Structure 1
């Protein structure tokens, strides 16, 4: 439980959003919409990259 407090609410919500994006992309890919599944599947790593970038900027300012 302490880990979630340390992680922060915003980061936890972003990680949950990434998990939902991955599940939706897998569903689309497996139901026959491969191109849409791949397109939406690329949102999760992009979102994680933005999170890492913002965390690096935040730690660089301190």
Structure 2
């Protein structure tokens, strides 16, 4: 539980959102809509990159 407290609610929600995005992308890809599956699948790494950027900006201000 200490890990989740340290992680924070906003970051935890964003990680859950990334997992949901990956599952939706896999569903789309495996059901024959490969182009939309790849497009949606690129959202997860983009969201993770934004999370890393925000973390770096937040650490730099202290």
Q: Is this a same-fold pair by TM over 0.5? A: yes
Matches within 5 A, 1:1-62: 1-62=1-62
> Which secondary structure does the structure 2 equivalent of 1:54 belong to?
helix
Unaligned runs of 5+ in 2: none
Q: Distance in 1 between the 2:59 and 2:2 partners?
A: 21
Structure 2: distance between partners of 1:49 and 1:31 = 28
Aligned residues: 62
Give the Cα separation in 1 of the matches to 2:55 and 2:44.
17
Instruction: State the Cα distance separating 1:32 from its structure 2 match.
Output: 0.2
2:60 & 2:3 partners in 1: Cα distance? 23
Which portions of structure 1, spanning 4 or more consecutive aligned residues, are displaced by more than 2 angstroms?
A: none
TM-score, normalization by structure 2: 0.99
Q: How far apart are 1:13 and its partner, in Å? A: 0.1
